[in-house]
Amino acid sequence: MKKILPFITLLLILAACKDPSVKYNQVIQNDSDYDVWVKVYQRADSVATVFFTVDSFFVARKSETIILERNGHKNMSQFSPCRMYADSISGRAEDTLLTVNKDLNSVANYVFTEVSKNKKGGGTCECRTVFKNINLN
């Protein structure tokens, strides 16, 4: 038993020193009266490290959709600039000619929020944009 105690202690120390994990979501919230399709155009450069699993997202009226989910280490502040991980993002109301006139490519139109935080500075955070009827024309 005395031979195992140092090994157990080492494992506990290593677990306590682990970087905090962070879960990041990029969210589009649709408060309009229309269902909207959001189209994501992937980055063409070779340094893009994030890949969207699909190229378009359906955001039903009065709902929200996570268009990107990332996991990382360190702390949530690395995601606070709300970087765009796509070349461009656009939206169009389903079965209409209305398009989203809000610039979904501008980080200024996203709000960063720490949803939950743990003791080590990790947790869950998101960058969210909201569009309403006024954003469709």
Confidence of residue 132 (pLDDT cuts 50, 70, 90): very high
Residue 124, number of CB atoms within 10 A of its CB: 16
pLDDT at 121 over 80: no
Confidence of residue 129 (pLDDT cuts 50, 70, 90): very high
pLDDT, tens digit, 9 for 90 and up, residues 76-116? 888 888 888 788 889 999 988 999 999 988 999 999 999 99
Which ranges of 1-137 does DSSP label H, i.e. alpha helix? 5-17
CB 66, CB 81: distance < 8 Å: no
- Which pLDDT value is given to residue 122? 83
Contacts of 109 (CB under 8 A, 6+ apart): 102, 103, 129
pLDDT, tens digit, 9 for 90 and up, residues 22-71? 899 999 999 999 999 999 887 666 455 667 778 899 999 999 999 988 88
Looking at residue 110, the DSSP 8-state letter turns out to be: -
